[in-house]
Structure 1
Amino acid sequence: MSNANKKKSSNAGTMLKNFFLQSWSSAVVAIVLLILIFSTTTNSFLTQYNLFNLSRTAAVYAFIAGAQLMVAVIGGMNLSVGAVGALSSIVLGTAIQDMGLSTPVAIILTVLVGAICGVINGLLVVKLKLSGFIITLAMSFIYDGIATGVSHGYAYSLTENFTALGRSRVGPTSGLFIIMILFVVLLAVFFRNMRFGRNILATGGNESAAALSGIRVDRIKIACNAISCILASVAALLWASRTGTAASSTGQDWMLYSFAVCAIGGISLNGGNFTAVGFFCGSWILTMIRNGLTMMNVDIYYEQAFLGAIILIAVSIESLRTRVAEKMR
């Protein structure tokens, strides 16, 4: 083998090694495999209409996962993501249908309710010194109970000007997908370039060291819980805009989806890290799996079992990749 060929082979090996060392590498490989599998086993997976629907769903999943992400990066969890989404939906429906408020006012009110829920969660975690698991589990029952009690299980109809965004097209993709792209870029800038974002990652990496360095850990926890529930409210707004209705059934599966996207995207649930590429890929992977299983006529009643198995496989692969990567460094 000539020196030129050896150099090319060495460069290719180095690039492959550097790619494998990235936490998002597993998610990128998974997306490629899923596209190949579903495009060859179904006839309509890559059609323009299906891609449009995929982009809308992936956008909503990104905000659902973003709600979990904001507490996962500090080593916590928010089990009330779905319940806050349900309560936000009911607030939105009540504001538009029953109170006759304008769309902008209803949106502001909905996001405000999400912020209040988040602040309550954060204050309880900080003041009671209890695990976020316990606090948000208890609060999820409260928020969900309020949503069901107010609506009595009925769905609210929304105006056409509100649903216009969820059904809009921007070229071959959807308006919601453009919002998703902006959201992921904002997260990347926030955690990499903004002091507050870096303080959050530092808190998740080592809370004691962060406190000793002057970071106000309690304020970080309250802020992260508030942002988490705000994003859950935004997800509820996008979901309602996509479906055209607001109901207390919104968010029933969101807790699973929020953890799934983070886990599949290579984001550690122990805190301290964030990868924009992995987060973006995780949202798409979950969307494609659900869509692909439906197109392959997989019994819908087994869907949750398949999703759970795929999450377990994804986490196991990432764990294996991490161990191998540590030995390769």
Structure 2
Amino acid sequence: MSNNEKMPGTANKPRVSLLKRFFLQSYSSAIVAIVILVLVFTVFTDAFLTPFNIFNLSRTAAVYAFIGAAQLILMVIGDMNLGIGACGALSTVVMGTLMANYGMGTLPSILAALAVSAVCGLVIGLLVVKLNLNPWIITLAMSFIFNGLAIGSSHGYSYEMTAALTWAGRKKVGMFSFLFILMIVLVVVLYIVFRHTKYGRDVLAVGGNRTAARLSGINVNWIVISCNILSCIFACVAAILWASRTGTASPNTGSDWMMYSIAVCAIGGIPLLGGSFTALGFFCGSWILTMVRNGLTMLNVDVYYEQVFLGAIILLAVSVESVRARVAEKMM
């Protein structure tokens, strides 16, 4: 047989190699899940892929992306923030109070809310570094404080948002929401930071091994503090987008964000132990959570059982990713 002749079946080798390379990626299971969900909900519902529903999906997924980013930035260093929702609630109350009670403009009110969230993150970061306590305990305690300040200062009342703010939550760009554009920008920025900047590489190094990172000259304490600041800022942005979507700034904002933030990261293949990040997986995680909630509503699933399905999906996603990682390790 000459060298130019091919053995039977060799024509399929490039395809097998491509599938193998896809399977080795941590985002592969998330992409497969999206395809399956789209097929299932399209077949069993009549309005899943209608322009109105795509618009609704896109703006909800965008908010979930920022909620997930608030948790992601700490998960990559092996920590977690249980006060994301509380920080978002406090930030949105600050913004609403300044607009409604003091007549402050939309942009100054937003900047003030972002400043408050940055201070919240700074306080959490300093407590974690100086007290050397488990971040779970500190963020849990701070969540009660933030919630108390939000409810106490507003007395439980919500604030109507200005037309300038609600414009962002209701503006269409084609079939998608304007918030979806912000989501794309967020994912791209996260990709660039973690892939092409020293700060991003230092964050991943701290998540991989803090002792080794410290010995290599990385200021671990600064990384921990800055990640907590960014976490609370992302939570504030999520709260602002949530207010632009609903039209009100409520002290009850973020009551279930802790669960959703972990779900976005876990479904997207972000390891809970830190040291790794995949932009595409994170993007898919936001969409999967959104599609599941939307699809269950369209299928008339009892709302009281919704969390059962969400919990099962998170458990399934983590289990599938664990199996995929083990198989991929053997294949390499």
TM-score by length of 1: 0.98
1:206 to 192, 196, 209: 209
Structure 2 Cα separation of the partners of residues 5 and 267 of structure 1: 40
1:179-198 equivalences in 2 (<5 Å): 179-198=182-201
Q: Which amino acid counterpart does residue 180 of structure 1 have in structure 2? A: M
Q: SS state of the match for residue 271, structure 1?
A: coil
Counterpart in 1 of 2:20?
17
CA RMSD of aligned residues (A): 0.9
Q: Give the total of aligned pairs.
A: 328
Corresponding residue for residue 139 of structure 1: 142
Q: How does 1:11-50 map to 2 (within 5 A)?
A: 11-50=14-53
Distance 1:254 1:157 in 2: 22
Aligned letter for 1:234? V
Query: Structure 1 residues 237 and 4, CA, compared in 2 at 3 Å: closer, same or farther?
Result: farther
The letter of the residue matching 1:30 is A
Unaligned residue ranges in structure 1 (runs of 5+): none
Report the equivalent of 1:328: 331
Q: CA deviation at 1:4?
A: 7.6
Structure 2 counterpart SS, 1:3: coil
* DSSP-derived class of the 2:280 partner: helix
Please point out which of 74, 79, 83 is paired with 2:86: 83
CA distance in 2, matches of 1:8, 1:84: 56
- Give, in angstroms, the shift of residue 5 of structure 1: 6.3
Runs of 5+ consecutive residues of structure 2 not aligned to the other structure: none
Tell me the amino acid that sits aligned with residue 118 of structure 2.
A
Q: Hey, which bits of structure 1, 4+ residues long, moved more than 4 A?
A: none
Whole-angstrom CA distance in 2 between matches of 1:36 and 1:272:
33
The equivalent residue for 1:255 is 258
Q: Report how far residue 6 of structure 1 moved.
A: 2.5
Alignment partners' CA distance in 2, 1:122 and 1:176: 29
Q: Percent identity?
A: 61
Rounded Cα–Cα distance in structure 2 between residues aligned with 1:297 and 1:237: 30
Matched, 1:216 2:219: yes
Q: Distance in 2 between matches of 1:5 and 1:23?
A: 32
Q: Partner residue of 1:96?
A: 99
In 2, Cα distance between equivalents of 1:197 and 1:125 = 20
Find the residue that maps to 2:169 and give its secondary structure: coil
Alignment of 1:56-205 (within 5 A): 56-205=59-208
Which amino acid in structure 2 is aligned with residue 66 of structure 1? A
CA distance in 2 between partners of 1:46 and 1:245 (Å):
28
Correspondence for 1:297: 300
